[in-house]
Amino acid sequence: MSPVETSAVQGRGELRDQPPPTRSRRTTPRGTLFANELLTTFRRWRTLALLAVLAAVPILVGIAIKIETSDGGGVGGGRGGGGEGPAFISQVTNNGLFLVFTALAATLPFFLPMAIGVIAGDAIAGEANAGTLRYLLVAPAGRTRLLLTKYATVMTFCVVATLVVAISALAVGALLFPLGDLTTISGTQITFAEGLGRAFLIALVVAASLTGVAALGLFVSTLTGSGIAAMATTVGLLITVQILDQIPQLHALQPYFFSHYWLSFADLMREPVYWDELQKNLGLQALYAAVFGSAAWARFTTKDITA
């Protein structure tokens, strides 16, 4: 047998000895793609660290209020109108359930959207940077389905992150302050059970308020192959919009900023509930989701993933 034939036989033998290639669990059955994306996202140390930081914010706020009022003094409240969430601080010492509303108001302007920006910004760009994006796109996981799965995963994180803040605040509020019937912003009394229901509804509204940020982050994620660059850009845009929303000279544009109506969730603690700004907030988030979601789809479906 010639040296060439011997080499060929040895090569075929080595191929037989290698195990058959396995398909990624994240690209196999149609119903498991979303579940595996969730598992992958929530098993990352970065995700767990973000949730830990969010859970720590209500603890710090509750301890600070407890220390401030331990000498018998009160905590000054903010303005009560126009959906100003920080006004809840003055009610925390009377009822620990108000810590839930205070914690959500404290985390919504920065901590919650920052966490969403990190997860959304890394959704596509992180896969491209790791070299796994092309493997996620093998049949039957097409680009549109993968993009929708990524967005659904980010929105699930929105709900989980918001509930982490709410549950942490409820636990701390129950430990440090009394619980009972609530006095709404309008001055009427509601039962503790109804207050819990409104707290859950407020948490859902806060999660829905992050829809626009999630879509924006996903769009940015399709523009680059660097997860860090996508996360930094998303968070940078978030901070920029927050700053612009505070400049009086831009009052004509501010109603169109995705963060403008975020604190309108406080209107759910009125009797009767004020729905005007809540509807504007949810409508604005839906508009941002539609615009940037479409942009992300247009970019991702034409993106060269081999580059």
pLDDT number for residue 4: 44
Tokens in use for 98?
Answer: 């108000």
Q: State which residues form the domain around 130.
A: 30-301
Is 120 domain-assigned? yes
Average pLDDT of 114-127?
Answer: 89
pLDDT number for residue 155: 95
- Distance, in Å, from the CA atom of 83 to the CA atom of 266, rounded to the nearest integer, reads 5
Average pLDDT of 136-154?
Answer: 81
Is 11 domain-assigned? no
Tokens in use for 48?
Answer: 């767990």
**pLDDT, tens only, 52-95:** 999 999 999 999 988 887 665 555 544 443 344 445 777 888 88
Tokens in use for 267?
Answer: 């209107």
Is 285 domain-assigned? yes
pTM: 0.82
Is 9 domain-assigned? no
Is 24 domain-assigned? no
Is 72 domain-assigned? yes
Residue 173's identity, in one-letter code, is: G
Instruction: Give yes or no for a contact between 192 and 97, defined as CB atoms under 8 angstroms apart.
Output: yes
**pLDDT, tens only, 79-90:** 443 344 445 777
Residue 17 clears pLDDT 60, i.e. is over it:
no
- Distance, in Å, from the CA atom of 281 to the CA atom of 154, rounded to the nearest integer, reads 19
How many domains is the chain built from? 1
pLDDT number for residue 306: 58
Is 3 domain-assigned? no
- The b-or-e profile of 63-86 (16+ CB within 10 A means b, else e) is eebeeeeeeeeeeeeeebeebbbb
Is 16 domain-assigned? no
